[in-house]
Amino acid sequence: VRHLVLVLGDQLDEASSAFDGFDASQDRVWMAEVAEESTHVWSAQQRTTLFLSAMRHFAQDVQARGWPMRYRPLDDPDNRGSLAEELMLAINELRPQTLVLTAPGDWRVLQALRAVARASGVPLDLRDDRHFYSTVRDFTAHAQGRKQLRMEFWYREMRRRHGVLMEGDQPAGGQWNFDADNRAAFGKGGPPTLPDPTRFEPDGITQDVMALVRQRFASHPGQLDHFGWPVTRTQALQSLDAFVRERLPHFGQWQDAMWEGEVWLFHSHLSAALNLKLLNPREVVAAAEAAWRSGHAPLTAVEGFIRQILGWREYVRGIYWTQMPGYLDGNALDAQAALPAFFWTGDTEMACLRDALTQTLRHGYAHHIQRLMVTGLYTLLLGVKPQAVHAWYLAVYVDAVEWVELPNTLGMSQFADGGLMASKPYAASGQYIKRMGNHCPGCRFDPAQSTGAQACPYTTLYWDFLLHHQAMLANNPRMGMALKHLDRLDGDQRAAIRQAAQAHRVDVGAAG
Ligand code: FAD
């Protein structure tokens, strides 16, 4: 074998750089399903199923092309259980001259595969991941000489460089960012009639994988009954098409809104297909821009959507690869509490949190504001150790791959990087959640109260968070308003809040 072309579970793209120059007469594709990828965090059943099913479908396509392949299923009795050991075995059997790999999404995986290449003495040809608009080198160049990194400047650079939503050298509509028009709540009547979610009945391959996952990872979190994610490129393209037709015109407007029991709202649900590389961000961005140019969707919606992909998605990848491996250890707020066990079951009386956790375990999905301002806000305020929060997010979402999950969790949501990702902690009381959805009226807690039997834990913990971090946050100009409100609390009120917060921590099993 000349080239052994390594394809990982999040590299399911036949146009990937690893396939450049592939010669079926002397090269071979290598893929392996290994238990380690489902156990290094406690991977939820939906997430593992999605990865394995998409891998098997991709392998089928590759083989249909007539490309020779070595594919190791998870249930092969000889399976060694880790990428490194499986690769070593393949090298010993196939004696390739070179290993070819498109840069992987996980720092950990890159180290492991590099170590195998070194140990076996086979050179590793590591290629840029063309899936992304930018390279890590582009990001490094952008970051150089800047005192502060902000997504907005990166996003503008990307818009200009790739000619997205541009009119000459000016942004379309005369503005880079229409966020001020977004972020509305639904109001009392709730969301307008929602389009049906785009779901796919599990086919034979997916059903086999579901049976395997149920048996092999029986104790792992989440349920499989509602599995309907796209597992092929064809399905992913159908999802994109349906999103652009049915949801994109309203994207943005209600981007931050929540509604009890409504999982899908006007979001795209394309993150998993993008992260597995079933979809290319360029085709997603082009479809959105075309919808604006044809008059199908307003610029506010289209710009908001494109910013998530061309801006945020590329930005967090740059942060990850320029900050690893140290980024993993960040804990700027010195948070040490344990993650409450109900994060794995949804069993809590807090209505907003129960709703977000329940749908997460049922579908492997929650939208951004649920992740940031319900689950993430709660662990931030509770003071959960960021590494435990990271392990949870990486485990439960179908779109969770470390390069994108880690900066969002550790940086944006938990402020554990001390402000690299976010200019201030995303701290808020229960009043924010009340404003953005309809969970509070039916909840046994009252977001207006910080102490007493009806006190909303979010509100209690919010004031406790400000009290606890007052000195550190005082240096942050964006926290001035919030800290000013602390002045209104007298000594007794402060003590009562601290006591209520501590009682809550003990109650949920988070106290040290
Ligand atoms: P939409 O709202 O429709 O957005 C469109 C696309 O933009 C998404 O599909 C995604 O590819 C991209 N995008 C949007 N926001 C972000 C962002 N902040 N960072 C990077 N890309 C973004 N996203 C993941 O893909 N994987 C993760 O593991 C992940 N973990 C997160 C953890 C936390 C604590 C938070 C706050 C956010 C996380 N996100 C993650 C970002 C974001 O919440 C999801 O991308 C989004 O909710 C996916 O749903 P969607 O496809 O309907 O997104």
Residue 145's pLDDT band (boundaries 50, 70, 90)?
confident
Whether 221 and 42 have beta carbons less than 8 Å apart is answered as: yes
C-alpha of residue 412 to centroid of ligand 1, in Å: 12
Task: Report the nearest-CA residue for atom 21 of ligand 1.
Answer: 313
**Least confident residue range of 173-182, 211-220, 419-428:** 173-182
Q: What is the pLDDT of residues 410-468, one digit of tens each?
A: 999 999 999 999 989 999 999 999 999 999 999 999 999 999 999 999 999 999 999 99
Angstrom distance (rounded) from CA 335 to CA 170: 44
C-alpha of residue 466 to centroid of ligand 1, in Å: 27
Mean pLDDT of the chain: 96
Task: Report the nearest-CA residue for atom 41 of ligand 1.
Answer: 368
Nearest-atom number in ligand 1 for the CA of 372 is 36
Mutate to test the pocket of ligand 1, among 194, 271, 320 (most ligand atoms within 8 A of CB): 271
Task: Report the nearest-CA residue for atom 44 of ligand 1.
Answer: 368
Residue 146 has pLDDT above 90, yes or no: no
C-alpha of residue 139 to centroid of ligand 1, in Å: 19
C-alpha of residue 497 to centroid of ligand 1, in Å: 34
Residue 512 has pLDDT above 70, yes or no: no
Which residue, 386, 425, 378, is CA-closest to 409?
A: 386
Measured from CB, residues less than 6 Å from any atom of ligand 1 are 267-271, 274-275, 305, 308-309, 312-313, 316, 367-368, 371-372, 376, 393, 397, 399-400, 404-405, 408-409, 412-413
Domains of the chain by start residue, with CATH: 3-127 (3.40.50.620), 136-195+247-323 (1.25.40.80), 341-507 (1.10.579.10)
Task: Report the nearest-CA residue for atom 42 of ligand 1.
Answer: 368
Instruction: Tell me the C-alpha to C-alpha distance, in Å, between residue 170 and each of 157, 182, 259, 301, 315.
Output: 12, 22, 37, 18, 22
Residue 495 has pLDDT above 80, yes or no: yes
pLDDT for 179 equals 84
Nearest-atom number in ligand 1 for the CA of 271 is 9
Mutate to test the pocket of ligand 1, among 254, 389, 408 (most ligand atoms within 8 A of CB): 408
- Residue in this structure with the two tokens 């840069």, named with its chain if needed: 103
C-alpha of residue 387 to centroid of ligand 1, in Å: 19
**What is the rounded average pLDDT of the residues 21-46?**
97
3-state secondary structure of 124: strand
Task: Report the nearest-CA residue for atom 30 of ligand 1.
Answer: 405
C-alpha of residue 270 to centroid of ligand 1, in Å: 9
Nearest-atom number in ligand 1 for the CA of 400 is 28
**What is the rounded average pLDDT of the residues 322-338?**
97
Task: Give the residue with greater pLDDT, 409 vs 148.
Answer: 409
Strand 98-102, strand 166-167: pairing: unpaired
Mutate to test the pocket of ligand 1, among 279, 308, 373 (most ligand atoms within 8 A of CB): 308
**What is the rounded average pLDDT of the residues 47-72?**
98
Q: What is the pLDDT of residues 192-204, one digit of tens each?
A: 999 999 999 999 9
C-alpha of residue 271 to centroid of ligand 1, in Å: 6
ipTM: 0.99
Longest dimension (CA), the chain: 79
DSSP code for 103: P
Residue 474 has pLDDT above 80, yes or no: yes
3-state secondary structure of 98: strand
Whether 199 and 243 have beta carbons less than 8 Å apart is answered as: no
**Least confident residue range of 175-184, 258-267, 492-501:** 175-184
DSSP code for 474: T
What percentage of the chain reaches a pLDDT higher than 90? Answer: 95
Residue 305 has pLDDT above 90, yes or no: yes
Task: Report the nearest-CA residue for atom 9 of ligand 1.
Answer: 271
**What is the rounded average pLDDT of the residues 89-102?**
98
Residue 92 has pLDDT above 90, yes or no: yes
C-alpha of residue 359 to centroid of ligand 1, in Å: 16
**What is the rounded average pLDDT of the residues 30-57?**
97
Residue 252 has pLDDT above 70, yes or no: yes
pLDDT for 147 equals 80
C-alpha of residue 376 to centroid of ligand 1, in Å: 13
Q: What is the pLDDT of residues 97-143, one digit of tens each?
A: 999 999 999 999 999 999 999 999 999 999 999 999 999 999 999 99
C-alpha of residue 368 to centroid of ligand 1, in Å: 6
Strand 170-171, strand 166-167: pairing: antiparallel
C-alpha of residue 269 to centroid of ligand 1, in Å: 9
Structure tokens at 503: 């009682």
Residue 180's pLDDT band (boundaries 50, 70, 90)?
confident
